[in-house]
């Protein structure tokens, strides 16, 4: 007799074995991928068409050197700062007897709900002299460290506590255990989170423009406003795109393939929490400072301007149209992103293989390009090929799809993975046709992830500034663009109501991300 340890066949089959994807699905995904690669094609064609002789003098000039130094320093210092705060915070919340740790768990994720440009507005109106690299680092680190905190906390929660206990039994102290056992297991979370932070730093416009800190993205917008999509803007765009692609390759080649977190039935028991003892006040103080700077300062400034502006700032006639237009554009973008992501996610989960990996990977490459490049590409391509589409809502929504596709894809992927093929087979054995089986069994199961993915895309689109500024039809007023025009002309009180609405809009997305990172059992 065999014993009852899990036999090899017990895993839940989510892919269809041996069955090939239908040609229709494959063709659809190929069309989607080609469309999404337009911005990448734009970068390549700029180099090819404008030509090196024209580009070289535009690239090798002191201004670009200065931007390069700024951007590289921003990433080189900003990413480690975000990783330190994110991982340190996650460890304190998940592995120590920190007082009120549930509250801290929420407070450390909450800065994501404050758009970086709103946080920057809070800082610049509180400390008008803020600026330069220091100011940029301060604002960006405080806005983006939760992007590392969330995956790090999720990974730490899944770690097998037996590893830490074993290390301790072998005579290692708390610090040694953290650095030799916990930290190496967080590598994937740190690398992934770090890449996301780096790409955000490179594509951020509003936050840096408000404090007059120059990066490639801000310089491209300035250049665009004076010379439109000329070779100067394109040259800067090419350099920025190259930096992003280099980061992408760097991350992929150093990440490694090892999965450290215990997988399968999930780690059975939660880890043992360390008593902080005399360090408790120190830990609370450190987290307190982080939360005060990342949430406290922006919210305090916002409150000040709300009070100063009084009822008059809420009486702005544009407020209502901005809410409606934001909902329209963001809703359309969300629906489009789901429609586009669904076939890609379906192919990736149900028919895994080299083909699916390449196609799925291609969509991530495009999405890693900063919004400003996507916008430049769409301006150029629409004007050259289909001028009727230039500055239409269609183009804006397409830009949202390109920029926020990963949010939809990640949600749908995990949703489809939770609807195993075996369930569809069971339905077919009970007399339902393949289509009916999908409608009655698979669709209800993936609806929550469709909802979550749509919410994440929609709320990202509502906060989007750069592509919206460049692509939206004349007269478009979204919350983000209205906030931007008020705050960049130092009408801080008028900007405040838009900021409040933006934060309220972002809150549900952050809540979804927060619960997703707590629920997900498989990495």
Partner 1 sequence: MTSLTISGISKDLGGVPVLRDVSLSLEAGSRLAVVGASGSGKSTLLRLIAGFDRPDAGSVRIDNSLVSDDSVFVPAHRRGIGYVAQDGALFPHLTVAQNIHFGLRGTQRRRHEAEVAAEFVGLDKQLLQRYPHELSGGQQQRVALARALAPEPRILLLDEPFSALDAGLRSQTRHAVVEALEHTGTTTVLVTHDRAEALSFGQQIAVISGGRIDQAGSPIHVFQNPSTSETAVFLGDAIFVPCHVQGTVADSALGRLTVAHDHRGGGTGARALLRPTQLSLDLNPVRTNAVIVRSSFSGSTVRLDLRLTDLGVAADSVLTFDLMTAQPDEYTVGTAVALTATGAVGVYSTAG
Q: 274 has which bridge partners?
A: 96
Closer residue to partner 1 in complex, CB, 20/61? 20
Residue 317 tokens read as: 């006639």
Q: To 5 degrees, how large is the angle CA 120–CA 137–CA 232?
A: 85
Give the end-to-end CA distance of the chain in Å, rounded to a whole number. 34
Q: To 5 degrees, how large is the angle CA 28–CA 34–CA 36?
A: 100
Residues 361-400 vs partner 1: string with x where CB under 8 A? ----------------------------------------
Closer residue to partner 1 in complex, CB, 12/61? 12
Closer residue to partner 1 in complex, CB, 2/129? 2
Closer residue to partner 1 in complex, CB, 31/422? 422
Q: How far is the CB of 408 from partner 1 (least distance, A)?
A: 22
Q: Identify the H or E element spanning 450.
A: helix 443-462
Can residue 23 be called a binding residue for partner 1 (CB under 8 A)?
A: no
Q: Report the distance separating Cα 464 and Cα 205, nearest Å.
A: 10
Closer residue to partner 1 in complex, CB, 172/428? 428
CA atoms 184, 188, 190, 191: torsion sign: positive
Can residue 230 be called a binding residue for partner 1 (CB under 8 A)?
A: no
Q: How far is the CB of 437 from partner 1 (least distance, A)?
A: 8
Can residue 430 be called a binding residue for partner 1 (CB under 8 A)?
A: yes
Q: To 5 degrees, how large is the angle CA 452–CA 332–CA 244?
A: 75
Closer residue to partner 1 in complex, CB, 315/436? 436
The SS3 call for residue 520 is coil
Report 467-506 residues binding partner 1 (CB under 8 A).
none
CA atoms 235, 239, 244, 246: torsion sign: positive
Closest CA to 232 of 62, 68, 58, 65: 58
Residue 383 tokens read as: 């004007």
Closer residue to partner 1 in complex, CB, 324/426? 426
Q: How far is the CB of 354 from partner 1 (least distance, A)?
A: 13
Assign residue 284 a region: left if phi > 0, alpha if psi is -120 to 50, beta otherwise? alpha
Can residue 425 be called a binding residue for partner 1 (CB under 8 A)?
A: yes
Can residue 4 be called a binding residue for partner 1 (CB under 8 A)?
A: yes
Closer residue to partner 1 in complex, CB, 6/278? 6
One residue of 444, 490, 515, 520 binding partner 1 per CB under 8 A? 444
Closer residue to partner 1 in complex, CB, 1/278? 1
Can residue 12 be called a binding residue for partner 1 (CB under 8 A)?
A: yes
Q: Report the distance separating Cα 42 and Cα 8, nearest Å.
A: 48
Q: How far is the CB of 18 from partner 1 (least distance, A)?
A: 4
Can residue 273 be called a binding residue for partner 1 (CB under 8 A)?
A: no
Can residue 438 be called a binding residue for partner 1 (CB under 8 A)?
A: no
| Long-range Cβ pairs for the range 488-495 (8 Å, 24+) | 488/209, 488/210, 492/121, 492/125, 492/305, 493/305, 493/306, 493/308, 493/309, 493/313, 494/309, 494/313, 494/316, 495/121, 495/305
| Piece of 54-62, 96-104, 320-328, 433-441 that binds partner 1 (CB under 8 A) | 433-441
Can residue 35 be called a binding residue for partner 1 (CB under 8 A)?
A: no
Report 170-229 residues binding partner 1 (CB under 8 A).
none
One residue of 286, 423, 491, 511 binding partner 1 per CB under 8 A? 423
Backbone angles phi and psi of 274, in degrees to 5 = -80, 135
Can residue 1 be called a binding residue for partner 1 (CB under 8 A)?
A: yes
Q: Report the distance separating Cα 155 and Cα 149, nearest Å.
A: 10
Can residue 422 be called a binding residue for partner 1 (CB under 8 A)?
A: yes
Compute the residue count for the chain: 523
Can residue 427 be called a binding residue for partner 1 (CB under 8 A)?
A: yes
Backbone angles phi and psi of 169, in degrees to 5 = -65, -20
| Piece of 15-23, 135-143, 267-275, 452-460 that binds partner 1 (CB under 8 A) | 15-23
| Piece of 141-149, 222-230, 279-287, 421-429 that binds partner 1 (CB under 8 A) | 421-429
One residue of 166, 180, 433, 489 binding partner 1 per CB under 8 A? 433
Closer residue to partner 1 in complex, CB, 258/429? 429
Backbone angles phi and psi of 14, in degrees to 5 = -110, -20
Q: How far is the CB of 6 from partner 1 (least distance, A)?
A: 8
Can residue 265 be called a binding residue for partner 1 (CB under 8 A)?
A: no
Can residue 68 be called a binding residue for partner 1 (CB under 8 A)?
A: no
Can residue 10 be called a binding residue for partner 1 (CB under 8 A)?
A: yes
Closer residue to partner 1 in complex, CB, 7/173? 7
Q: Report the distance separating Cα 299 and Cα 277, nearest Å.
A: 32
Can residue 7 be called a binding residue for partner 1 (CB under 8 A)?
A: yes
| Piece of 2-10, 37-45, 317-325, 382-390 that binds partner 1 (CB under 8 A) | 2-10
Determine how many CB atoms are found less than 10 A away from the CB of residue 422: 11
Residue with the two structure tokens 């979804």? 512
CB 148 within 8 A of CB 112: no
Can residue 278 be called a binding residue for partner 1 (CB under 8 A)?
A: no
Residue with the two structure tokens 């150029």? 380
The binding site for partner 1 (CB under 8 A) comprises 1-4, 6-10, 12, 17-19, 420, 422-423, 425-434, 436-437, 440-441, 444-445
């Amino acid at each position: 007799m065999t014993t009852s340890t899990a036999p090899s066949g017990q895993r839940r089959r989510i892919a269809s074995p041996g069955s090939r994807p239908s040609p229709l699905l494959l063709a659809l995904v190929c069309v989607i991928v080609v469309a999404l690669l337009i911005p990448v094609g734009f970068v390549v064609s700029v180099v090819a068409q404008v030509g090196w002789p024209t580009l070289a003098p535009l690239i090798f000039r002191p201004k670009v050197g200065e931007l390069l130094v700024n951007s590289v320093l921003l990433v080189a210092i900003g990413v480690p700062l975000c990783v330190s705060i994110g991982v340190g915070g996650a460890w304190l919340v998940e592995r120590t007897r920190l007082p009120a740790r549930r509250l801290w768990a929420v407070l450390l994720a909450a800065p994501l709900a404050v758009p970086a440009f709103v946080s920057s507005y809070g800082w610049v109106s509180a400390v008008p002299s803020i600026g330069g690299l220091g100011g940029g680092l301060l604002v960006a680190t405080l806005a983006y460290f939760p992007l590392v905190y969330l995956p790090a906390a999720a990974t730490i929660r899944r770690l097998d506590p037996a590893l830490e206990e074993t290390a301790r039994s072998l005579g290692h102290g708390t610090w040694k255990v953290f650095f030799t056992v916990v930290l190496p297991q967080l590598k994937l979370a740190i690398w992934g989170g770090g890449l996301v932070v780096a790409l955000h730093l490179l594509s951020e416009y509003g936050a840096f423009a408000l404090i007059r800190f120059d990066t490639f993205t801000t310089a491209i917008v300035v250049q665009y406003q004076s010379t439109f999509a000329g070779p100067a803007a394109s040259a800067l765009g090419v350099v920025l795109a190259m930096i992003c692609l280099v980061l992408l390759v760097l991350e992929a080649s150093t990440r490694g393939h090892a999965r450290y977190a215990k997988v399968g039935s999930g780690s059975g028991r939660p880890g043992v929490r360390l008593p902080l003892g005399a360090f408790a006040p120190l830990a609370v103080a450190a987290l307190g400072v982080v939360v005060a700077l990342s949430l406290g300062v922006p919210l305090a400034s916002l409150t000040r301007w709300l009070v100063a502006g009084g009822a008059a700032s809420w009486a702005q006639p544009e407020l209502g149209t901005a809410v409606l237009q934001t909902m329209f554009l963001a809703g359309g973008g969300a629906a489009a992103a789901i429609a586009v992501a669904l076939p890609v996610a379906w192919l990736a989960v149900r028919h895994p293989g080299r083909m699916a990996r390449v196609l799925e990977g291609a969509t991530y490459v495009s999405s890693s390009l900063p919004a400003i490049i996507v916008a430049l590409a769409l301006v150029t391509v629409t004007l050259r090929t289909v001028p009727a589409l230039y500055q239409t809502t269609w183009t804006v929504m397409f830009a949202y799809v390109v920029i926020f596709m990963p949010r939809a894809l990640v949600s749908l992927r995990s949703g489809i993975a939770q609807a195993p093929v075996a369930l569809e087979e069971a339905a077919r054995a009970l007399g339902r046709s393949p289509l009916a089986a999908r409608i009655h069994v698979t669709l209800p199961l993936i609806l929550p992830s469709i909802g979550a993915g749509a919410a994440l895309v929609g709320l990202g689109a509502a906060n989007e500034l750069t592509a919206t500024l460049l692509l939206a039809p004349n007269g478009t007023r979204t919350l983000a663009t209205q906030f931007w025009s008020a705050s960049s002309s130092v009408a801080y009180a008028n900007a405040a109501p838009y900021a409040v609405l933006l934060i309220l809009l972002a809150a549900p997305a952050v809540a979804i991300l927060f619960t997703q990172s707590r629920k997900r059992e498989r990495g």
